[in-house]
């Protein structure tokens, strides 16, 4: 634990006594979010390691295959060289060099593919982690008609219309509809509107 956190705890006094339970709850929620993030990172690292191992095995198999092909070509070239002369030996050496280069190129290609697969896996898991953390920290989305619901609650309080206004409008529902439609969209959804301020 850092010195800053220890100092903050040590500096709590009696005025903070009632807030300690709230602080503990906030710390538990943060711990839960961090646990989720840590779990996703561990999962991503394992997936990346698995992908690297898979690609490395594939590269190793391709290298062995290329080496066998090169060795076979060498044996054939050596036999041909014995039969046909020094020119055949030169051809065999050239073939070995080409096969070795091809094997090296295949191995590099496999390593690049492994790195690309690892990066994609990490990016996908990072997106999933961010989405989970965002969902946990921001909570559920507000309903589309939240301002109207706030307006309905507000109209039941101290600023409620009189019985005469409601009767004259044709009932509470009609009064709400008329009063709401008289407001502009900006006024309806304004954060400082009395109904939205109460709900905040």
In the chain, the number of structural domains is 2
Claim to verify: residue 92 and residue 153 sit in the same structural domain: no
Percent of the chain with pLDDT over 70: 94
Claim to verify: residue 95 and residue 127 sit in the same structural domain: yes
Model confidence at 200: pLDDT above 60: no
**pLDDT for position 89:** 76
**pLDDT for position 46:** 92
**What digits encode the pLDDT tens for the residues 43-67?**
989 988 998 999 989 989 988 998 8
Q: Flag whether 11 is in a domain.
A: no
pLDDT band for 36, please (50, 70, 90 cuts).
Answer: very high
Rg for the chain, CA atoms, rounded: 36
- Give the residue with greater pLDDT, 19 vs 142: 19
Per the structure, the complete domain to which residue 66 belongs is given by 17-137
Average pLDDT score over the chain: 85
Claim to verify: residue 40 and residue 57 sit in the same structural domain: yes
**The two three-digit tokens of residue 32, written as one number:** 């839960």
Q: Flag whether 38 is in a domain.
A: yes
Q: Flag whether 71 is in a domain.
A: yes
pTM: 0.31
């Amino acid at each position: 634990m850092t010195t800053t956190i220890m100092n903050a705890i040590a500096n709590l006094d009696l005025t903070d006594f009632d807030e300690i339970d709230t602080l503990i709850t906030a710390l538990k929620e943060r711990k839960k979010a961090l646990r989720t993030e840590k779990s996703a990172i561990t999962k991503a690292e394992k997936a990346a390691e698995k992908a690297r191992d898979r690609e490395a095995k594939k590269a190793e198999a391709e290298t062995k295959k290329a080496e066998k092909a090169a060795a076979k070509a060498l044996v054939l070239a050596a036999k041909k060289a014995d039969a046909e002369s020094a020119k055949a030996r030169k051809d065999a050496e050239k073939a070995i060099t080409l096969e070795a280069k091809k094997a090296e190129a295949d191995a590099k290609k496999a390593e690049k593919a492994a790195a690309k697969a690892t990066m994609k896996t990490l990016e996908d898991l990072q997106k999933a982690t961010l989405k989970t953390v965002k969902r946990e920290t921001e909570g559920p989305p507000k309903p589309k008609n939240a301002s109207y619901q706030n307006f309905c609650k507000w109209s039941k309080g101290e600023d409620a219309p009189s019985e005469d206004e409601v009767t004259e409008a044709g009932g509470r529902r009609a009064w709400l509809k008329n009063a709401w439609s008289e407001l502009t969209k900006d006024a309806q959804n304004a954060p400082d509107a009395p109904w939205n301020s109460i709900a905040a």
